[in-house]
Amino acid sequence: MVLTFFVLMLMNIIKTGHVSALGSCPKCGNVEVPYPFSTDDTCGDSRYKIYCNNSNNGNGILEFKSAKGFYYKILSIDPSAQRLIISPPDLVQDDDTCQTSDFSLQGLRLDEHLPFNVSTRNTVILLNCSDNLLRSPLNCTSNSLCRVFQDKMLEGKNNACKGGLCCHYLKDSHMTSYVIRVRVGGCTAYTSVVDIRPEDPVEKWSYGIELQWLPPN
């Protein structure tokens, strides 16, 4: 019986190319970790790796790690829709600098070998943009949603991001599904809104970056 079990397990490894997924992971603090996510080597599916940060007085925070090694807080996970929402990076609190905290890594980049991609329900707001963006298909006009964000959400905050050119775009299927980029010569800061309703007050927009995942084989 034991020999039969190991033979079947080996056949599954050869067929799928990875070890069979284990059971669901325990909670991260009080936060559920639904299958197929894995917080360590003893549970979940290793291709769906996320991280449990218990440094906040023992209150667990789930985090998603980008391909460049930046950790984004996970705001919600919807297993039935196979979607999760991560927190956009913070703006650097410096009145002379308009950058997001992942600027040195050129923004968000996902590992294309893993089963995640940026969903098409994200409206990306870009700040402190170069005039080069005026030749792009992005909306950088005075009617851009980024203007509303600048006027309302940055009031009394980062002054460097309040002025200057800004743009927005809806992440669609014609764009790369693995990158939200910031850089010198482009835009140096960004945020994102999920399933935006422009008629809603800017304070009630759902700020986040929605990722979707393919189900396990």
pLDDT at 156 over 90: no
Side by side, which strands form the sheet with 122-129? Answer: 165-170, 122-129, 187-194
Q: pLDDT tens, 66-114? A: 999 999 999 999 999 999 999 999 999 887 899 999 999 999 999 999 9
Q: pLDDT tens, 183-215? A: 999 999 999 999 999 999 999 999 999 999 999
Of 209, 199, 95, 98, the C-alpha closest to 148 is: 199
pTM of the model: 0.87
Of 29, 26, 65, the C-alpha closest to 49 is: 65
> Given this model, what pLDDT does residue 70 score?
98
Domain boundaries in the chain? 25-65, 86-213
Q: What are phi and psi of 8, to 5 degrees?
A: -65, -40
